[in-house]
C-alpha cells in the first residue's frame, strides 16, 4: 500500500514547528522542491480547508480520484475531507500553502460565509482550481506573503488581524471567480459516479468498511462500482477504504488518552483483534509497536509554539 498520512495543522506543526502559524488554526508557509512535505507517490487525507498557490513550476495530483495539473498562476482551493495522491512536481516548483482549521470558522461567521460561497461556486462549476491573471496573482501572492509576515509577528491583536487578512483573501478570490466565465467540464456518467463515491467514502469510511454500503448509496451494483473505481484510480474500493482507515488509525494511535481498544471502537471494527489484524496487514507492524515508535518520535520533537 502507498504510504499515507493525515494532513492537518496539528500534525504539520509537530513536524515543522517553525513554519508561520497561529496556534493550530491557521498555517501558511512557502515551499520549494527540496522541502516538500509529501514526496512523490505519497497520499494524504486533508482535514482542513486547504489553499495552494503555484508561483513557479508544475505539479500533478489526484484529488478524490480526479487528475489535476497545476502550473504557475494556478490557485487550488478545497474543503476538508479530500484524499490527495501526489503524482509529480517539477524541480522548479515553488508554492505557498494556506491551511485553515474548522475552529477558525466557528470563531468567525463572516469567514465561514465567504469560504462557503467560494467552495460552493467552485463545486457548482466542477472545479478545484482557478487560473489567475498576472494582476490577480500579484494580489493573492501579496495577501499570502503579508499573512506569513503577520503570523511571525507579536501583534497585540493578532487573532483579529489574521481573521481580517483571511477574510480579505477569500473576498478577493470570490471577486475573481465572479468575473470569470465558468468553463463547465463535461462529466461522463462514470466520472460522476467516481466523484460521488469519493464524496461518500471520505465522509463515511470510519463507520462503513464495505463496498456494499457505497454501492447501495449510489444505487448501482457492487461490480459496477468496483470497475469504475479501478479503471479511474488504479485502486480497488477496498484499497481506498483501507488507506483512509490506516491513516486515521495512525493519527488516533498518537493520542495518549486512547487505548488500542478505543481506536478500534472509533473505527467501527467488530473487535480489537480484527483491528489489530487489519493494522498489521496494512502497515506491517502491530498497533502497539507502531504506537511505541510514534511516541518515541513525538517525545524527541519540540512542541510547536502557539500564538494565542
- C-alpha span between 125 and 88 (Å, rounded): 25
Which of 162, 157, 42 has its CA nearest to residue 100?
Answer: 162
Residues above pLDDT 90, as percent of the chain: 54
- Domains, the chain: 4-179 (2.60.120.280), 189-300 (1.10.10.60)
- C-alpha span between 166 and 104 (Å, rounded): 10
pLDDT, mean of residues 10-23: 90
Which of 36, 34, 41, 40 has its CA nearest to residue 12?
Answer: 36
pLDDT, mean of residues 131-138: 96
In tens, the pLDDT along 232-279 reads 888 899 999 999 999 899 889 988 899 999 999 999 999 999 999 999
Task: Answer positive or negative: Cα dihedral of 303, 153, 101, 127.
Answer: negative
- Average pLDDT of the chain to the nearest whole number: 88
- C-alpha span between 50 and 220 (Å, rounded): 32
Confidence of residue 45 (pLDDT cuts 50, 70, 90): confident
pLDDT, mean of residues 14-31: 93
Q: Does the predicted TM-score (pTM) go above 0.85? A: no
pLDDT, mean of residues 29-54: 81
In tens, the pLDDT along 193-210 reads 888 899 899 889 999 999
Which pairs count as long-range contacts for 181-185, CB under 8 Å and 24+ apart, including other chains? 182/124, 182/125, 182/127, 183/125, 183/127, 184/125, 184/126, 185/126, 185/127
In tens, the pLDDT along 69-107 reads 999 999 999 988 888 888 889 999 999 999 999 888 777
Which of 116, 110, 26, 52 has its CA nearest to residue 79?
Answer: 116
Pairing of strands 58-63, 82-89: antiparallel
pLDDT value, residue 304? 45
Residue 306 in this model has a pLDDT that exceeds 50: no
**Are 304 and 14 contacting, i.e. CB atoms less than 8 angstroms apart?**
yes
123 against 263, higher pLDDT = 263
Residue 179 in this model has a pLDDT that exceeds 90: no
pLDDT value, residue 184? 57
Amino acid at each position: 500500500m502507498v504510504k499515507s498520512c493525515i494532513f492537518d495543522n496539528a500534525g504539520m506543526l509537530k513536524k515543522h514547528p517553525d513554519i508561520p502559524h497561529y496556534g493550530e488554526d491557521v498555517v501558511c508557509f512557502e515551499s520549494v522542491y527540496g522541502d516538500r512535505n509529501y514526496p512523490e507517490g505519497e497520499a494524504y487525507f486533508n482535514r482542513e480547508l486547504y489553499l495552494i498557490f503555484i508561483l513557479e513550476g508544475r505539479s500533478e495530483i489526484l484529488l478524490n480520484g480526479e487528475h489535476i495539473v497545476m502550473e504557475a498562476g494556478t490557485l487550488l482551493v478545497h474543503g476538508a475531507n479530500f484524499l490527495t495522491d501526489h503524482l509529480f512536481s517539477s524541480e522548479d516548483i515553488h508554492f505557498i500553502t494556506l491551511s485553515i482549521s474548522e475552529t477558525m470558522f466557528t470563531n468567525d461567521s463572516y469567514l465561514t460565509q465567504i469560504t462557503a460561497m467560494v467552495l460552493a461556486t467552485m463545486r457548482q462549476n466542477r472545479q478545484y482550481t482557478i487560473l489567475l491573471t498576472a494582476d490577480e496573482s500579484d494580489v493573492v501572492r501579496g495577501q499570502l506573503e503579508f499573512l506569513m509576515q503577520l503570523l511571525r509577528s507579536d501583534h497585540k491583536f493578532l487573532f483579529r488581524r489574521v481573521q481580517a487578512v483571511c477574510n480579505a483573501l477569500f473576498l478577493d478570490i470570490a471577486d475573481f471567480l465572479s468575473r470569470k466565465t465558468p468553463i463547465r467540464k463535461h462529466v461522463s456518467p462514470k466520472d460522476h459516479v467516481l466523484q460521488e463515491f469519493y464524496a461518500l467514502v471520505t465522509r463515511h469510511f470510519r463507520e462503513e468498511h464495505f463496498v456494499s454500503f457505497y454501492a447501495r448509496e449510489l444505487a448501482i451494483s457492487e461490480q459496477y462500482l468496483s470497475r469504475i473505481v479501478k479503471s479511474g484510480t488504479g485502486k480497488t474500493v477496498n484499497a481506498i477504504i483501507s488507506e483512509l482507515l490506516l491513516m486515521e488509525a495512525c493519527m488516533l494511535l498518537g493520542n495518549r488518552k486512547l487505548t488500542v481498544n478505543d481506536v478500534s471502537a472509533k473505527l467501527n471494527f467488530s473487535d480489537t483483534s480484527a483491528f489489530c489484524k487489519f493494522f498489521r496487514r496494512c502497515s506491517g507492524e502491530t498497533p502497539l509497536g507502531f504506537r511505541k515508535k510514534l511516541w518515541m518520535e513525538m517525545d524527541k520533537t519540540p512542541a510547536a509554539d502557539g500564538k494565542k
